[in-house]
Chains A and B, each alone.
Chain A
Amino acid sequence: GENVEQHPSTLSVQEGDSAVIKCTYSDSASNYFPWYKQELGKRPQLIIDIRSNVGEKKDQRIAVTLNKTAKHFSLHITETQPEDSAVYFCAATPTFGNEKLTFGTGTRLTIIP
């Protein structure tokens, strides 16, 4: 089955700096890669996703890049703000029609004011 590795497990950045979280996956058939943000005591919330037919997607301060050859994808947050502090999870799904998501282990991001 699919295996998703996520790094780093914790990340602290100064407010205003950029943060990058990286994930690798094992199943070359995976074609959908969402990112979720989970604040303390809250549900995971989808913040951005990317499909295998594109290499990059941006939404304001958030971007995701995908390298299918290397089987890795990354989340980039620019101009970080204190409200970006949360745990971020990447995920991958093996095949279209098989909607099971495999999640990474999570990254705890702390923005230092």
Chain B
Amino acid sequence: SAVISQKPSRDICQRGTSLTIQCQVDSQVTMMFWYRQQPGQSLTLIATANQGSEATYESGFVIDKFPISRPNLTFSTLTVSNMSPEDSSIYLCSVEGTSGRPSTDTQYFGPGTRLTVL
């Protein structure tokens, strides 16, 4: 499977500020996703990052709060804007369709970014 990295691995931020999280894959992938995992909880899909077009957001998540970019087939960013303590969570990217093969539904996760908002 592809090697997936995220930056930063963790951060502590002040409320009202924004943080951009990067997700880098070592090979081209078809699909990239962003998830949130609150402490002790399951994974919730924020959005699908579409290459060259606007991301597709899930119910409860909006572009103004979580702008996403995907300039190419190996890289995506998620910004958490105007943060509040409720945004404290782990943010994970995942990828699908590695090694140039058509999508196989199998998703692999990055290591995650642990965000704490004070």
Contact = CB atoms under 8 A, between A and B. Distances in A.
Tell whether A pairs with B.
Answer: yes
Interface of A: 32, 34, 36, 42-46, 49, 89, 93, 96-97, 99-101, 103-106
Interface string B3-44: 000000000000000000000000000010100000001111
14 contacts: A32-B105, A43-B110, A44-B43, A44-B92, A44-B109, A93-B105, A96-B105, A97-B103, A99-B48, A99-B103, A99-B107, A100-B45, A105-B41, A106-B41
Contact of B111 (A43, A89, A105): A43
Interface string B33-61: 10000000111110010000000001000
Residue of B31, B105, B107 with most partner-chain A CB within 10 A: B105
A103 B103 contact: no
Contacts of B45: 100-101
A97 B102 CA distance: 10
Interface residues of B, number: 20
B109 A103 contact: no
Interface string B66-107: 000000000000000000000000001000100000010111
Nearest to A106: B42
Given A34-B107, A44-B109, A105-B42, 6 more contacts: A36-B109, A99-B105, A100-B45, A100-B48, A103-B43, A103-B44
A103 B105 contact: no
A44 B43 CA distance: 9
Contacts of B106: 34, 46, 49
Nearest to B102: A97
Contacts of B44: 103
A42 B112 CA distance: 8
A104 B109 contact: no
A20 B44 CA distance: 24
B43 to A, nearest CB: 5
A99 B96 contact: yes
Top 9 A-B residue pairs of the complex, sorted by shortest distance between their CB atoms: A32-B105, A43-B109, A103-B42, A103-B43, A44-B109, A105-B42, A43-B111, A106-B42, A99-B31
